[in-house]
Structure 1
């Protein structure tokens, strides 16, 4: 796996366009994030992470102001595998699968604050969907959608 850096980020943008963006369709707000900027903690990417974080909060706030029926986020790296507070040490086999806790907690707090309906991610062998706020019990939950039937 190649680590995200200025060169790979610029190459991606030149070939595909913006690496994070938002759109609306039929009253639903969709936000696509570059989860590599959240996953990789390299100092040279810090300003990109901060820029995306401001973008994310602005878009989540706008979705609330529009009274979006749902707000759905898409990214590559999952935020957690079992529980939002899990913290994988470097000795764990699962390291490299999820966004590090220090940044995950910042983003999940925004998702909760602005009532994100779901976050779709990849990277793991299964396709995953995260139900981020379940009003029936007030707790973060996680669910799976299998890759194939």
Structure 2
């Protein structure tokens, strides 16, 4: 996957993740899962589509998602899979409308050439009904899977209206991690950050510290999340956390103003604040992240 192909993603809000050059490692200790020999691959992350949003923050809201789908489909090399990291739809108090928006979102996402597409909920999708409509349409809100030597974990920190992961899911996470070697390649997807970024803006997970305590013993963990509608990087000891940009509108820098109101729409630069990310991984090297702006088609 070359740089030119990545640039063809330039109309996508969210992130493109390219993981390359990792190799197999020694067998895991007894009782632990040994990763398969690593093969190069990449996946695409999209976040915060907010299908159903209407407002001055993005007058083009009816078309942005469709443009993203078309852009991903135009890639010369298709990703192994695509993941949407929450807020697939915009919140509504009407259960019927909530399901209608999810159905419309699914119809548009079905236009992706890649059929290995995964989802996690955002609070706009799940907090008003504890994830009931989300699960009807997209299946479990937390899960794990293996892909070419990497262990992926999707956490739900939004279905609880109190912004908690919850004891049941934390026990599930512990049991899942117990099966992994301490040097396993682990990638975690969440919607909200697992650390206290700006709690008064709801940019936190109230029991995120418990999840992080479970992850800390593992030496190769990276977290990708959404929710804050902008690029942001944070280290907790050896674990890096990377926020994705949004497909709907950008939000202000963390804590920079009293309320987290959307950044004003700029007709001269309609894609300002939207973009994508390239992340490269090589054996025995840190992840390399490169951010690209969205360009007008």
Q: TM-score, normalised by structure 1?
A: 0.66
Q: Is the CA contact 2:223–2:242 (under 8 Å) kept in the aligned structure 1?
A: no
How many angstroms does 1:110 deviate by? Answer: 0.9
> 2:218 matched to 1:114?
yes
Query: Which residue number in structure 1 is paired with residue 132 of structure 2?
Result: 10
Tell me the residue number matched to 1:137. Answer: none
Structure 1 residues 63 and 132: alpha-carbon distance in aligned structure 2, compared to 1, 3 A threshold: farther
Higher relative contact order (Cα pairs below 8 Å, separated by 6+ residues): 2
CA contact (8 A) 2:232 2:244 kept: yes
Please tell me whether residue 77 in structure 1 is matched to residue 192 in structure 2: yes
Q: 1:116 to 1:32 in 2, by over 3 A?
A: farther
Query: How large is the Cα RMSD of the aligned pairs?
Result: 3.1
Unpaired stretches in structure 1, ≥5 consecutive residues = 135-139
2:229 is the alignment partner of 1:125: yes
Give the distance between the partners of 1:144 and 1:14, measured in 2 at CA.
27
Secondary structure at the aligned position of 1:109 is classed as helix
2:221/2:240 contact within 8 Å kept: no
Structure 1 runs, 4 residues or longer, greater than 6 Å off: none
1:113 Cα offset (Å): 2.4
Q: Name which one, 1 or 2, has greater alpha-carbon Rg.
A: 2
Three-state SS of the structure 2 residue aligned to 1:64 is coil
Q: How many residues are paired up? A: 125
Structure 1 residue 55 displacement after superposition: 1.1
More strand by share: 2
Change in Cα spacing, 1:18 to 1:116, as seen in structure 2 (3 Å) is farther
- Which TM-score applies when normalising by structure 2? 0.36
> Could you tell me how far apart the structure 2 residues matched to 1:127 and 1:120 are?
11
2:146 maps to 1:27: no
- CA 1:133/1:25 → structure 2, altered by over 3 Å: closer, same or farther? farther
**Is the 8 Å Cα contact of residues 35 and 76 (structure 1) preserved in structure 2?**
yes
Greater per-residue helix proportion: 1
Question: 1:7-44: per-residue Cα shift (whole Å, max 9, x none)?
Answer: 34121111100100000112210001112146x428xx
User: Structure 1 pair 132/60, CA: closer, same or farther in 2 (3 Å)?
Assistant: farther
Matching of residues 93-104 of structure 1 within 5 Å: 95-100=201-206, 103-104=207-208
Structure 2 residues without counterparts, runs of 5 or longer: 1-90, 92-123, 246-274, 277-291, 293-297
The 5 A counterparts of 1:129-140 are 131-134=235-238
Cα distance in structure 2, aligned partners of 1:128 and 1:63: 28
